[in-house]
Structure 1
């Protein structure tokens, strides 16, 4: 028979690396879903499409191959996504200056506006949630953020 006191608690589970991995995975996935739900209501783009706009905003013009590698998808999938974004006026495609076989993707003003409006809405929601935390909890998150970024970029 199992009693409530015998059930693993989050505090006990995260004492092992495997437990930490499990709890972190679950927490990050739930936060991602929650943030996705806070998207701007006028924005019909998928999270994958927004990620492409974000990559172009951060890094400037990119080839389809560079975008595919960055987002860890196959080039044909990225080509379809870029085509949809171009059809909507969010990006422009042009020939690569030195390699005619490649396409360079550029963020348009429309794409930039949609991205920034969507980010602002999600950032406002997250800032409200952070305001409810203690100063110590926010300090922990400030220290954890670069670590989470490294984990997200790891191979």
Structure 2
């Protein structure tokens, strides 16, 4: 019985997560970046400068694919390729100020979209959702 309940909750969370991501992804249309480029930029901004190999691993793509993504981000002025202080032959990919700003603006749009939806909830529902958010944060660490 408990196992069935756990499976049901997991399935509902999975479906809700997909719908939430799709809803929020629509807010990213204003960035002018494709989803893979925006995702890579996010990793660079939040993780700090990374090697191409580390970035490819984080994004679960092959290095040649990541190289093309980084090329586009460099061309857009959102990241730079800097010499790697630990490897004379290597480079580190770092976010530029415009790259950070673009990501901050996107986050503000996504949070704003959620704020609009949360306004329709009752006080009880908002408190329940806040508790659920705490639990989601805990199980995804």
Which TM-score applies when normalising by structure 1? 0.76
Greater relative CO, 1 or 2 (CA 8 Å, sep 6+): 2
What is the CA distance between 1:71 and its match in structure 2? 2.3
Query: Aligned in 2, Cα 1:138/1:116: closer, same or farther, shift over 3 Å?
Result: same
Residue in 2 aligned with 1:18?
Answer: 7
Residue in 2 aligned with 1:9?
Answer: none
Residue in 1 aligned with 2:119?
Answer: 131
Query: Aligned in 2, Cα 1:44/1:140: closer, same or farther, shift over 3 Å?
Result: same
What is the CA distance between 1:18 and its match in structure 2? 2.4
What is the CA distance between 1:20 and its match in structure 2? 2.1
Residue in 2 aligned with 1:122?
Answer: 110
2:136 to 128, 134, 148: 148
Residue in 1 aligned with 2:64?
Answer: 76
CA displacement 1:38-66 (0-9 Å, x = unmatched): 2253x211222222222222222122222
What value does the CA root-mean-square deviation take over the aligned residues? 2.3
CA displacement 1:95-133 (0-9 Å, x = unmatched): 211213432011112212221222211111111111221
The whole-number CA distance in structure 1 between the counterparts of 2:49 and 2:70 is 12
Query: Aligned in 2, Cα 1:141/1:78: closer, same or farther, shift over 3 Å?
Result: farther
Gaps of at least 5 residues in structure 1 are 1-13
Matches within 5 A, 1:47-66: 47-66=35-54
Q: Which runs of 4+ in 1 moved over 6 A?
A: none
Query: Aligned in 2, Cα 1:112/1:131: closer, same or farther, shift over 3 Å?
Result: same
* Higher helix residue share: 2
What is the number of residues matched between the two proteins? Answer: 139
Which TM-score applies when normalising by structure 2? 0.82
Residue in 1 aligned with 2:20?
Answer: 31
